[in-house]
Structure 1
Amino acid sequence: MAPPRLRGRPAHTPGPTFLAYTPDGTKLITIGLNNAIRVFHTGSDAEPTTIDNCQDSNTAVAAHNDFFITGCEDGTVSKYSLETNTLDDLLTRCTLPVRDIALSPDGNWAAVASDELVVKVVNTKDTTRVLYLREQSKPVKHVSFDKTGTLLAASCSDGVVYIYSLSSEEPQLQKKLDGLVKSLETDAEASSKIIWHPDGRAFAAPTSSKDVQVVSRSDWTNQRVFQDGHTGDISAAAWSPNGALLATTGLDRKLHLWDAKTQKILASFTDIRAPILALTWHPSQNILSYTNNDGELYIHTDFVPTAYESILQKSLQPAPFINDSLPDARSAPTNGQKAAIPTRPVRRAGTPDSVDAIFDDMSIGGDDGDDFIIDDDGAGYVNGAARPNKRPHDGDGPVPRSKRQAAEPWTPTIHEPFQPASTPWRGNRRYLCLNFTGIVWTVNQETHHTVTVEFYDRSFRRDFHFTDPWMYDKACLNDNGALFSSQPRGSDSAQLYYRPHETWHTRADWRTSLPAGEAVLAIALSDSYIVACTDRGFVRVYTLFGVPVRVSRMKASPAVTCAAWRDYVLVVGNGPVGADGRTQLVYSIENVKRDDVCQSQDVVALPPGGNLQSVFWSDSGDPYIFDDSGVLCVLVHWRTPGQARWVPLLDTTRLDRLAGGRREESYWPVAVAGGKFHCIILKGGERYPYFPRPLLSDFDFEIPLSATVGAEDEDPGRESRAHEQAYVLHSTLVALGEDLLAATRASQAQKMEVARWEVEADKALLQLLAAECREGEERGMKALEIVGLMRDRSGRMLDAAGKVARRFGREVLAGKIEEIADNRLAGLDDDDD
């Protein structure tokens, strides 16, 4: 019996209709010729949400989780919010009809193809930031980003495909492919759109022979081809989310489901009423949705037949190459058979490889093979020495012993080294340094890197860009210069390279090599010195122009990180092992110029099981740490040996903006300056900032004392808690300021700032006193205790405290306050009574 005919939903007036899923798959947006936009909710049979009063004749749509973007025939490109279902912003305007829109994977850039010759790539958060692709000689019909967002494919109406690299400030034409796709008018129903394979190594393109050709990204060679499926031009195609299946449709009104591995048709649907113009897979369910030229939407549930549904449920599959050494993740042992040990992808030597990283992250090819070996004859196949590819243990505690595994020596869990303000590779790009001065980022070009340095204040410094044959993996940036380091490669030693922004001499940058085989774990740059911590436990200190000042060996190693400010160097290393099997982090602070040790092997205060995320100095010269639990701590009294302590100034998990679960976000530390915490807000489950350059946000300090104080809090104790918060905060700032005044030749402005903090602390106590007096006579002991905490020695605050007590009729308390005032005027201290 034939399956029932699939019925379409009339989403728009008859005419070309297009659609897009949000990346999380919760919503499906459709656009058409009328001035309404439909937002369908996955799994719901309710009527879709309709956004009215939009532009007519919409021709393109692209969606992210929080917003979507549409383009229309009048050239308008609009951004709509999915939270409010309203128009959010006008991204750009073209003089001719828009034909296609593509969003980068992070949603920060929108590529717009129109009947103009130029393709615009617009930042969705800052519409003043626009990139222009100008190499094509004819209008572009389709645009598409690869999964990393670093490459953009533009299918031109003359049959030429332009591949642009967006990894630098100015887009670069990376490849021009002529004859791959068919020459089509921009409003033709047939498609020439490039569809990137989910594994990132290849893309597929509909050809003039009505086939789909797979092309390698690495060398642009033709690979497998999906052929003999259509008799008419292909109008739409899409990979399944795991890349194991391909769906194609054509003007012959056929819809085919292909096996990507064998290039064979698994299922065909020929009862297509009107030509399909757009189709897309649901990101996680067995659903294929498509729209046609008659204004209809089809949501084809259970699109993949039951016999082949297991293919759709597989993990990420490799692109179909002719000669591919990648293992097939689909292979599995049959009944009674032992599985062979799969071969892991071979990582190319030298620089980090974005494609290899993708395979590792998505587990292409299975595990390392340990779980496939059964030592059923006791021959010792699972001995630790026989598994050279075993991954290191990533857990927080000791490695559990397998029942089949021989006893292994226990080793503690150490904190891995890291460079503050840097991020790991994502694709072929990463940030080497991201601080309050500017940004340093690098692009892996396989044989070399390209480094870009951008400043926030471009009126003071000019951005620069250079080719990096040394493949620097660490960087520091301040107002004086930029410091880079590379690792040893082959016969080349590790390098330190310093480039000042400006000097009175013509040639001021310098480079030095470390001893052979010694690797750099972390570097730091101050106004006076350059610091490098190495894997041999050495701390190497240089002047800004390359003179070695000091080489010392750390007492606690291996090193974790370091930071510098003026003449001070802070170094963090792995110390003694705690009760949880993890090493404690210890730090030392040294004044290099005076050869003076301020703190030696003191413990870095972290929460149980917590990790250090960043170490940096504030603009006023105090050490700060930020851990992975979201707490910012400052080191108070760090100039006095044995007296330093870590004080939390902000717990980002307790911010008012997060109350009630309204937002899911975390914070990437950047700097402490101007009495505020400057950071980058990371949405959702993001852990690191990504491209394009993120915006900085700042938060006031808020020492975690009790429940979050918010404007909507109706607790009667809210006012007192706010005053307590202000007192403890300003007392901490006073302690930091007094240490600075005692250790340096402080300016008049610095002295006035400390005096202001003292007044603010006393003012908070005065307000807290008023709150206590308002509560009643029984709170008199606490009220008197509050008065005793006041720092003011002139008597003005104590006089004000007495007036507050009398205003509330607390005569006995007023008398006690007068006694305290008299004792202070007489030079007597409460501690001496």
Structure 2
Amino acid sequence: MALQHQIRSRQAHTPGATFLSYTPNGKKLITVGIDNYCRIFTTGSDEEPATIDDCQENNTAIAAGNGFFITGSEDGTVCKYSLENNKLEEVLVRTSLPVRDIALSPDGNWVAVASDELVVKVVNTQDMTKILYLRDQTRSVKHVSFDTSGTYLAVSCTDGRILIYSLSSEQPEMIKQLEGMIKSIDSDAEASSKVLWHPDGRAFGTPTPSRDIQVMSWSDWERQKAFTTGHGGDITSAVWSPNGALLATTASDLSLCLWETKTQKLLKKYDDVRATILSMAWHPTENILSYTNNDGELFIHTDIVPTEHQGLLQLSIQSAPFFHDPTEGTSGNAGAKLANGAKETIPHRPGRRQRTPDSINDILGDLSEDEAMDDFVIDDDGAGYAPNVNGHGKRTNGHLGALASPNGKRRAFGSSFFRPETHEAFQPGSTPWRGNRRYLCLNLTGFVWTVSQETHNTITVEFYDREFHRDFHFTDPFQYDKACLNENGALFSCEPSGDNPAMVYYRPHETWTTRTDWRTNLPAGESVTAIALSDSYIVVTTSANYVRIYTLFGIPWRVYRQKASPAVTCAAWRDYVLTIGNGPVGGDGKCHLLYTIENVKRDEVFQAEDIVALTPNSTLSNVFFSDAGDPYIYDSTGVLLTLLHWRSPGQARWVPLLDTRLLPRLSGGGKEESYWPVAVAQRKFHCIILKGADRYPYFPRPILSEFEFQIPLSSPSDSKNKNKREEFDISDDEEDTTTTKKDDSRTLEHSLILTTTLFTQLSSTLSHTRPTSSQRQKLTELEVSIDRILLQLLGQECMAGEEHGMKALEIVTLMRDANGRMLELAGKVAGRYGREVLGEKIRELAERRLVGLDGGEEE
């Protein structure tokens, strides 16, 4: 008898992301990786695999037919190779951005290509000039998947949407858009959002944000049963067995689980996975599951299904796990309506009774007699033999489990299904690995980047002002993964590895002694979640929810446990420290972010566990202090916000200063770009413009751009104005004049609220600090600017007519001057336009203010 759970491991490729595919007949297994060759393994043979050299590097996907296979790579090339002579046949198609996934239709005639482009291309494998274009995506695509008939294609987008296309006509038609099934992920993330069409063709499953596999029947688009996997990390791969009786899932928690489809019961869990599995494939006929990981390894797991469950593999095609069969209640020639209004014909099954009003099939469905009687249990003694039975002896809907929310997560409080979604920790200014390099820090001082050399890293620190600082680089045996940089020094930290604990390393730029850089270790089992560096202190938040504060020369100064946990990130400026962590769970099942700001030197807390104002479904992208010392955040929706009154406990509020989605450069609609936040300095937002689907800056060194603050007040004028003009027969000259006045008024209103916000920000700062003469002068200039803007608005209202008099008077009441100079000018403006009544009201207001200054009451 063969030994169960035999695993043959092969180092198939250079360490890195590796993918595989079986041919439909199961005779060959092909793998691709980050190196420039493909490996072709013969099933059941221990001989060395055949190798195809001179392929593309950094392959990201593979799909195999019986006589050929197709690969996709990061350089955008999709190649077809022959399995007869093991040579490249042709380049089927190219994309301008990296390929992320490919899928081969069941007949092998079409290959769908997902890339960082917005368009999915479906190319004929026999004639590459025949291409179908799917254009309904608004974000780049992570996965594509054909159904069992090859008629429908599921497209998983990085924004968390699934688009279902019908390919039955010459022009593909998008028939359904699903939201809430999968989560939003980066296109190069290891996590999977791939649609898994069940072999019976009536349903599909997807990994959900709660790390389950949710099944949906696609004839009625209803959510059916779900596999509650309990994985401790994002699902990275999942695959049905060839007959649909089993499901295999694997996740970043380094576990592989085997499930029975009918009951969603866990049959076996393998916890000895050595690296994150990225790709899995069942052998078409044998009890073999093969998989590859992110370390270049191939594992051929024979006898993967335990002996007591091997009979499941011998069954015919099994049904998907339904709460109810979506075809119930329909006759043999009836059909369920699809999204496009067509009907799906459901053929009559041989040997099955036709449905009639009194048919036993309407009562028992397709169950056998024994199965149909399973629920017929009488709990006559109250001993609990019949759970979910009400007082009338009838079965309740408790067997259906908790109701699913629109995003596919179970929300049964008090049950094991509820899992709050926490915000992941991040280091401000750092990017994820891309290839063998990444940025550890990007700010206005310079940038720090690291290159992986397998056994060690090399770190380079470059400055924008090379006259003041000199660039340097060094060999990094500790593999630092976080860094901060300012005018005084550079701060690094690394995660624990083996017996080596986590470590913090500080290196000053200048010294008048022989050596002043220092390192310190964290307690065993504690890792660093984020670090921050100011002119006075070093801040470290850890996995134990400790906030550790050191002086610049390594003296421990504060250690305390953060109330909001798990910790998310931190920032520092001079003596101030801002920490952010996960707080209470909101109504959407996500944790609110809470922030705390304190002055370390004076040991004074200004804001304690206040809420970070984020919109639903958005995340925090960056947090930093400006050059003037004000806190700023930037969220995933592209909005920059500052914190006003943060030195006054209980008075802080988040105010938007820029919404990058409303930038004039995007008004035409032709550009697709996002913005990587870097800093706020000189009252401008400094960032890196990312083109297309890019979400992180990459090499060569990006150029910094800057944008003026522009508080979002209203949308720009659009074609609706033109429609109104035509409806009311307004002349072009009259329309242009009206539009110009509205635009001028909108510009002044924006200037008013922005200047008022900046005045409030600076006024709050000066009331809690020792102001300099230049700061006092700037505050006076802002106050005068507010009155000048109000005076300009007054002129526009006076010009508009007497009917605008009340609004004009309201504008005058907003003026700030105490000596009456601006009120005098306001009266002159009213007189210039002949607004005598308004002028009289302004004089009365001036008199009342004068009385108030002399000790009288001010109304």
Band the TM-score falls in, shorter-chain normalisation:
0.5 to 0.7
* Structure 2 CA distance for aligned equivalents of residues 796 and 776 of structure 1: 25
Question: What SS does the corresponding residue of 2:122 show, helix, strand or coil?
Answer: coil
1:392-407 paired onto structure 2 within 5 Å: 399-400=409-410
What is the match of residue 577 of structure 1? 585
What is the match of residue 50 of structure 1? none
* Structure 2 CA distance for aligned equivalents of residues 466 and 498 of structure 1: 14
Deviations 1:243-290 (Å, cap 9, x if unpaired)?
655699xxxxxxx9644xxx3259999xxxxxx9x9866764335799
* Structure 2 CA distance for aligned equivalents of residues 787 and 576 of structure 1: 45
Deviations 1:100-124 (Å, cap 9, x if unpaired)?
xxxxxxxxxxxxxxxxxxxxxxxxx
1:141-540 paired onto structure 2 within 5 Å: 199-204=32-37, 224-225=50-51, 242=62, 244=64, 245=68, 258-259=81-82, 263-265=83-85, 284-286=121-123, 299=129, 333-334=241-242, 338-339=245-246, 341=248, 399-400=409-410, 408-540=416-548
Q: 2:633 matched to 1:625? A: yes
Shift in CA distance, 514/148, structure 1 to aligned 2, threshold 3 Å: closer
Q: 2:766 matched to 1:741? A: yes
* Structure 2 CA distance for aligned equivalents of residues 792 and 331 of structure 1: 72
* Structure 1 CA distance for aligned equivalents of residues 292 and 818 of structure 2: 64
Q: 2:802 matched to 1:781? A: no
Deviations 1:774-803 (Å, cap 9, x if unpaired)?
111121111111111112223332222111
Deviations 1:63-97 (Å, cap 9, x if unpaired)?
xxxxxxxxxxxxxxxxxxxxxxxxxxxxxxxxxxx
Question: What SS does the corresponding residue of 1:571 show, helix, strand or coil?
Answer: strand
Structure 1 residue 533, shift from structure 2 partner: 0.8
Structure 1 residue 431, shift from structure 2 partner: 1.3
The structure 2 residue matched to 1:799, chosen from 807, 815, 824, is: 824
Partner amino acid, structure 2, of 1:737:
L
In the alignment, is the contact (CA less than 8 A) between 2:238 and 2:248 conserved in 1? Answer: no
In the alignment, is the contact (CA less than 8 A) between 1:586 and 1:601 conserved in 2? Answer: yes
In the alignment, is the contact (CA less than 8 A) between 2:676 and 2:689 conserved in 1? Answer: yes
In the alignment, is the contact (CA less than 8 A) between 2:517 and 2:553 conserved in 1? Answer: yes
Shift in CA distance, 213/612, structure 1 to aligned 2, threshold 3 Å: closer
In the alignment, is the contact (CA less than 8 A) between 1:439 and 1:454 conserved in 2? Answer: yes
Structure 1 residue 520, shift from structure 2 partner: 0.9
* Structure 2 CA distance for aligned equivalents of residues 431 and 716 of structure 1: 47
Q: 2:729 matched to 1:729? A: no
Partner amino acid, structure 2, of 1:400:
R
Structure 1 residue 450, shift from structure 2 partner: 1.4
Deviations 1:210-252 (Å, cap 9, x if unpaired)?
xx9999xxxxxx963359xxxxxx999999974655699xxxx
In the alignment, is the contact (CA less than 8 A) between 2:238 and 2:247 conserved in 1? Answer: no
Partner amino acid, structure 2, of 1:551:
V
1:126-145 paired onto structure 2 within 5 Å: none
* Structure 2 CA distance for aligned equivalents of residues 762 and 649 of structure 1: 21
Shift in CA distance, 493/247, structure 1 to aligned 2, threshold 3 Å: closer
* Structure 1 CA distance for aligned equivalents of residues 585 and 775 of structure 2: 41
Deviations 1:396-441 (Å, cap 9, x if unpaired)?
9673389xxx962422221111111111222222211111111111
* Structure 2 CA distance for aligned equivalents of residues 266 and 501 of structure 1: 56
Partner amino acid, structure 2, of 1:760:
S
* Structure 2 CA distance for aligned equivalents of residues 742 and 792 of structure 1: 19
Partner amino acid, structure 1, of 2:781:
R
Question: What SS does the corresponding residue of 2:795 show, helix, strand or coil?
Answer: helix
Partner amino acid, structure 1, of 2:84:
K
* Structure 2 CA distance for aligned equivalents of residues 800 and 716 of structure 1: 22
Question: What SS does the corresponding residue of 1:626 show, helix, strand or coil?
Answer: strand
Unaligned runs of 5+ residues in structure 2 are 1-13, 18-29, 42-47, 72-78, 96-112, 114-120, 133-145, 156-186, 188-236, 256-271, 281-290, 306-317, 323-366, 375-403, 720-735
In the alignment, is the contact (CA less than 8 A) between 1:624 and 1:633 conserved in 2? Answer: yes
* Structure 2 CA distance for aligned equivalents of residues 519 and 267 of structure 1: 48
Shift in CA distance, 147/729, structure 1 to aligned 2, threshold 3 Å: farther
Taking structure 2 as the reference length, the TM-score comes to 0.57
In the alignment, is the contact (CA less than 8 A) between 1:561 and 1:573 conserved in 2? Answer: yes
Structure 1 residue 714, shift from structure 2 partner: 3.1
Structure 1 residue 830, shift from structure 2 partner: 10
Q: What is the count of residue pairs matched by the alignment?
A: 562
Deviations 1:534-553 (Å, cap 9, x if unpaired)?
11111111101101111111
* Structure 1 CA distance for aligned equivalents of residues 740 and 647 of structure 2: 41
In the alignment, is the contact (CA less than 8 A) between 2:545 and 2:561 conserved in 1? Answer: yes
Identical residues among aligned pairs (%): 50
* Structure 1 CA distance for aligned equivalents of residues 580 and 787 of structure 2: 36
Structure 1 residue 200, shift from structure 2 partner: 3.9
* Structure 2 CA distance for aligned equivalents of residues 635 and 309 of structure 1: 55
What is the match of residue 666 of structure 2? 658
Question: What SS does the corresponding residue of 1:540 show, helix, strand or coil?
Answer: strand
* Structure 1 CA distance for aligned equivalents of residues 529 and 61 of structure 2: 38
Shift in CA distance, 694/352, structure 1 to aligned 2, threshold 3 Å: farther
Partner amino acid, structure 1, of 2:490:
A
Q: 2:753 matched to 1:752? A: no
Structure 1 residue 514, shift from structure 2 partner: 0.9
Structure 1 residue 745, shift from structure 2 partner: 2.3
* Structure 1 CA distance for aligned equivalents of residues 539 and 57 of structure 2: 54
Question: What SS does the corresponding residue of 1:430 show, helix, strand or coil?
Answer: strand
In the alignment, is the contact (CA less than 8 A) between 1:613 and 1:625 conserved in 2? Answer: yes
What is the match of residue 612 of structure 1? 620
Q: 2:697 matched to 1:689? A: yes
In the alignment, is the contact (CA less than 8 A) between 1:226 and 1:264 conserved in 2? Answer: no
1:693-712 paired onto structure 2 within 5 Å: 693-708=701-716
* Structure 1 CA distance for aligned equivalents of residues 464 and 649 of structure 2: 37
Shift in CA distance, 422/395, structure 1 to aligned 2, threshold 3 Å: farther
Taking structure 1 as the reference length, the TM-score comes to 0.59
* Structure 1 CA distance for aligned equivalents of residues 472 and 585 of structure 2: 45
* Structure 1 CA distance for aligned equivalents of residues 743 and 276 of structure 2: 52
In the alignment, is the contact (CA less than 8 A) between 1:200 and 1:355 conserved in 2? Answer: no
What is the match of residue 644 of structure 1? 652
* Structure 1 CA distance for aligned equivalents of residues 319 and 558 of structure 2: 52
Question: What SS does the corresponding residue of 1:714 show, helix, strand or coil?
Answer: helix
Deviations 1:306-350 (Å, cap 9, x if unpaired)?
9x998xx9999xxxxxxxxxxxx9997545x74574778979999
Q: 2:833 matched to 1:808? A: yes
1:68-87 paired onto structure 2 within 5 Å: none
Shift in CA distance, 300/627, structure 1 to aligned 2, threshold 3 Å: closer
In the alignment, is the contact (CA less than 8 A) between 1:239 and 1:246 conserved in 2? Answer: no
* Structure 1 CA distance for aligned equivalents of residues 489 and 502 of structure 2: 20
* Structure 1 CA distance for aligned equivalents of residues 57 and 513 of structure 2: 60
* Structure 1 CA distance for aligned equivalents of residues 491 and 55 of structure 2: 52
Partner amino acid, structure 2, of 1:576:
P
In the alignment, is the contact (CA less than 8 A) between 2:70 and 2:80 conserved in 1? Answer: yes
Root mean square deviation of aligned Cα: 4.9
What is the match of residue 562 of structure 2? 554
